[in-house]
């Protein structure tokens, strides 16, 4: 196992570019009317994994690990040629082992059958045979190349902006290597002192990023910094704290002349926490790249707003973005719609594969056979 992120398989093998993502969906895009449905599939299965993880009493980190396994598996496979529901169950089963909170295979099969059979999924034929899930586990670990150590943005978030007056968290609760961030820490002058609800907001933003493929494109510490940036920009209590911190820094009086240790009695004044602007500027990261990640997170939220959780397929509609006859329309999508799209993709792919297999059979040429026999 790698001692830090920079020498890990996560950094060296599983941070990919957009070309790799496009190539991974090359087969799927042939069987959808609109390629945007593939983006909704990412939200659809993230929600599915979260539901199954909640049923199995997983903590958020284990759900995030299962989601990462699912994303990595579909870098090498297509939705239309596999059973994503079996893959999702296997990802939860393997993630529980990887995060050292294993659950029995019978429990995973039972809970998966219960959740997948409900609307909007409607998977009534999920196998009750435990050996099917065990077999899928073998294929999953093989496609993951046995790289089961996952680095999440949560640890970087706690390292960067854990409130000063809080106790240190148990390292076992948040993954591996809390102190592996020296390459992005920069000046290392203190931690960003966010309000507790501001830290919670950044945590929730990180949770939401698993509904997209950002976890495959960027290192976790950059996602954590982008979440901090968005919290400072959009969270009202944090905005007030940021403004007060900047104002206090601007009006702070000049430091008094240094006194001797005898005069000061050996007491040292506690250095105040840096304001967010100074703190972010001191990090050893590309701020334009952080801003780009923040824009992608906002784009993910824009897509998610159009995903009507709990809606029926008949509730899909196109609504104007704002009043006016010529305004662009926004298409709303429901989980039932994605279920139907997925079923259509898999059925069309099965038909194509069957036709290909039939066309590969060479018909018998009786004229040639008779000629060869006569010769």
In the three-class reduction of DSSP (H, G, I as helix; E, B as strand; rest coil), residue 318 is classed as strand
The pLDDT > 70 percentage for the chain reads 70
- What percent of the chain stands above pLDDT 90? 51
* pLDDT value, residue 315: 47
User: Residue 329: helix, strand or coil by DSSP?
Assistant: strand
With H, G, I as helix, E, B as strand and everything else as coil, classify residue 305.
Answer: helix
- Span 148-156, mean pLDDT? 92
Per DSSP, the residues of 176-231 read S-TT--HHHHTT--------HHHHHHHHHHHHHHTTTTHHHHS-HHHHHHHHHHHH
Confidence at residue 197, expressed as pLDDT on a 0 to 100 scale: 84
Selection from 18, 132, 21, 120 nearest residue 71 by Cα: 21
pLDDT at 149 over 80: yes
**pLDDT higher than 80, residue 356:** no
Look up residue 47 and give its two tokens. 């929600």
- Please say if the pLDDT value at position 207 is more than 60: yes
Alpha-carbon Rg for the chain, nearest whole angstrom, is 26
User: Is the peptide bond between 78 and the residue preceding it cis, with omega within 30 degrees of 0?
Assistant: no
Lowest mean pLDDT segment, chosen from 123-127, 274-278, 324-328 = 324-328
Cα pseudo-dihedral 289, 71, 179, 232, rounded to 10: 40
Question: What local confidence, expressed as pLDDT, does residue 3 receive?
Answer: 62
pTM: 0.81
Beta-carbon contacts of 94 under 8 Å, excluding residues fewer than 6 positions away, are: 66, 69, 137, 140, 141, 144, 148
**Residue-level pLDDT at 194:** 76
Q: For residue 350, is pLDDT > 60?
A: yes
Q: What is the pLDDT of residue 237?
A: 63
Question: Is 34 a residue whose pLDDT tops 70?
Answer: yes
Mean pLDDT is highest, among 122-136, 277-291, 317-331, for 122-136
Contacts of 351 (CB under 8 A, 6+ apart): none
User: Quick one: average pLDDT of 249-269?
Assistant: 53
**pLDDT tops 60 at residue 187:** no
Confidence of residue 355 (pLDDT cuts 50, 70, 90): confident
Average pLDDT of the residues in 176-200: 63
């Amino acid at each position: 196992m790698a001692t830090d992120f920079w020498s890990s398989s996560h950094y060296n093998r599983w941070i990919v570019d957009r070309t790799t993502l496009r190539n991974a969906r090359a087969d799927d895009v042939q069987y959808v009317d609109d390629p945007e449905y593939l983006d909704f599939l990412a939200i659809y299965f993230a929600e599915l994994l979260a539901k199954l993880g909640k049923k199995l009493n997983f903590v958020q980190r284990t759900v995030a690990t299962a989601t990462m396994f699912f994303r990595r598996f579909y870098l090498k496979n297509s939705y239309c040629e596999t059973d994503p529901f079996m893959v999702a169950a296997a990802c939860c089963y393997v993630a529980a082992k990887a995060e050292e909170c294993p659950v029995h295979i019978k429990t995973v099969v039972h809970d998966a059958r219960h959740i997948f059979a409900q609307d909007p999924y409607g998977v009534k034929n999920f196998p009750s045979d435990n050996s099917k899930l065990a077999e899928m586990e073998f294929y999953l670990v093989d496609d993951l190349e046995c790289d089961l150590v996952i680095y999440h943005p949560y640890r970087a978030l706690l390292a960067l902006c854990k409130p000063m007056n809080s106790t240190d968290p148990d390292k076992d609760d948040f993954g591996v290597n809390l102190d592996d961030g020296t390459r992005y820490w920069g000046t290392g002058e203190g931690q960003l002192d966010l309000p507790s609800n501001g830290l919670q907001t950044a945590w929730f933003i990180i949770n939401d990023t698993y509904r997209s493929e950002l976890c495959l494109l960027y290192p976790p510490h950059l996602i954590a910094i982008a979440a901090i940036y968005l919290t400072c920009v959009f969270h009202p209590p944090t905005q007030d704290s940021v403004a007060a911190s900047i104002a206090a820094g601007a009006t702070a009086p000049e430091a008094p002349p240094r006194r001797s240790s005898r005069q000061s009695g050996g007491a040292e004044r506690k250095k105040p926490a840096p304001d967010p602007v100074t703190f972010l500027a001191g990090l050893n990261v590309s701020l334009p790249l952080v801003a780009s990640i923040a824009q992608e997170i906002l784009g993910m939220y824009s897509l998610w707003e159009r995903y009507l959780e709990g809606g029926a397929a008949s509730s899909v509609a196109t609504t104007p973005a704002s009043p006016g006859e010529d305004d662009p329309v926004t298409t709303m999508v429901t989980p039932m719609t994605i279920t139907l799209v997925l079923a259509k993709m898999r059925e069309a792919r099965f038909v194509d594969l069957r036709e290909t297999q039939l066309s590969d059979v060479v018909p018998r040429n009786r004229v040639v056979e008779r000629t060869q026999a006569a010769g």
